[in-house]
Amino acid sequence: MTGVVVHAGGWGDGGWGWAMWLAMTIGMTAMLVTLLAIVWLIVRAVGPPREGGRSREDRALEELRVRYARGEISGESPTSDAGRCSRTSVVAPAEPDRAQAYDAWYETALGAAAHRIELRLVAALAAPGRGERALDAGCGTGIYTAWLLEQGLEVTGLDPDPAMLSAARVKVPEARLVEGDATMLPFAEGEFDLAVAVTLFCFLDGEERLVAARELLRVVRPGGRVVVGELARRSLWAAQRRVRGWRGSRTWRQAHFATAGELRQLFHNAGATAVSARYGLYLPPWDVTSFVSRAEAIERLGRPLGALGAAFVAARAEAGGGAAGATARV
Ligand SMILES: C[S@@+](CC[C@H](N)C(=O)[O-])C[C@H]1O[C@@H](n2cnc3c(N)ncnc32)[C@H](O)[C@@H]1O
**Is the CB of 199 within 6 Å of ligand 1?**
yes
Q: What is the pLDDT of residue 41?
A: 64
- pLDDT at res. 147: 98
The answer to whether 226 and 142 are in contact (CB under 8 A) is no
CB neighbour list of residue 178: distance below 8 Å, 6 or more residues apart: 156, 157, 158, 186
Cα 23 from Cα 31, distance rounded (Å)? 12
Per-residue pLDDT 10s for the chain (330 aa) are: 444 444 444 445 566 777 888 888 888 888 888 788 777 766 555 555 454 445 555 555 556 555 544 445 443 333 333 334 444 433 444 444 778 888 888 989 999 999 999 999 999 999 999 999 999 999 999 999 999 999 999 999 999 999 999 999 999 999 999 999 999 999 999 999 999 999 999 999 999 999 999 999 999 999 999 999 999 999 999 999 999 999 998 889 999 999 999 999 999 999 999 999 999 999 999 999 999 999 999 999 999 999 999 999 999 999 985 433 333 333
108-327 in CATH: which number?
A: 3.40.50.150
Identify any residues that bridge with 154 across adjacent strands, giving them in sequence order: 133
Closest atom, ligand 1, to C-alpha of 197: 6
Buried b (16+ CB within 10 A) or exposed e, 55-86: bbbeebbeebeeebeeeeeebbeeeeebbbbb
Q: Which atom of ligand 1 is nearest to the CA of 159?
A: 22
Q: Whose Cα sits closest to atom 27 in ligand 1? A: 140
Q: Is 143 in the pocket of ligand 1 (CB under 6 A)?
A: yes
Smallest CA separation from ligand 1 atom 9, residue:
143
Q: What is the predicted pLDDT for the residue at 56?
A: 55
CA of 36 to the centre of ligand 1 (A): 39
Closest CA to 255 of 266, 271, 243, 265: 243
Atom of ligand 1 nearest to the CA of 91: 1
For residue 96, the CA-to-ligand 1 centroid distance in Å is 17
Atom of ligand 1 nearest to the CA of 161: 25
pLDDT at 17: 79
What is the CA(53)–ligand 1 centre distance, in A? 32
User: Which residues lie below 8 Å from residue 291, measured CB to CB, with a gap of 6+?
Assistant: 283, 284, 298
What does the domain layout of the chain look like in residue ranges? 55-105, 108-327
Per-residue pLDDT, 96 = 42
Is 262 close to ligand 1, i.e. is its CB under 6 Å away? no
85 CA to middle of ligand 1, Å?
A: 6
Q: Measured from the CB, is residue 159 less than 6 Å from ligand 1?
A: yes
271 Cα–ligand 1 center, Å:
23
- Exposure b/e, 227-246, CB count within 10 A at least 16 = b: bbbbbbbbbbbbbbbbbbbe
220: left (phi over 0), alpha (psi -120 to 50) or beta: beta
Contact of 167 with 141, CB cutoff 8 Å? yes
Residue 38 Cα to ligand 1 midpoint, Å, equals: 37
Q: Are strands 54-55 and 176-179 parallel, antiparallel or unpaired?
A: unpaired
Q: In this structure, what DSSP letter does residue 159 have? A: E
pLDDT for the residue 47 = 53
Is 138 touching ligand 1 by the criterion CB < 6 Å? Answer: yes
- Supply the residue whose CA is at minimum distance from atom 1 of ligand 1: 85
Cβ proximity of 280 and 314 under 8 Å:
yes
Closest among 286, 262, 254 to 110, alpha carbons compared: 286
| Opening angle at CA 104, ends 314 and 77, nearest 5 | 95
pLDDT of 58 reads 54
Residue 160 Cβ inside 6 Å of ligand 1? The answer reads yes
d(CA 305, CA 314): 16
Please report the pLDDT score of residue 322 as a whole number: 43
* Residue nearest atom 12 in ligand 1 by C-alpha distance: 138
- Quick one: pLDDT at residue 160? 96
pTM of the model: 0.76
Q: What share of the chain is helix, strand, coil (3-state, %, to 5)?
A: 50, 15, 35
pLDDT attached to residue 149? 98
Q: What is the pLDDT of residue 81?
A: 36
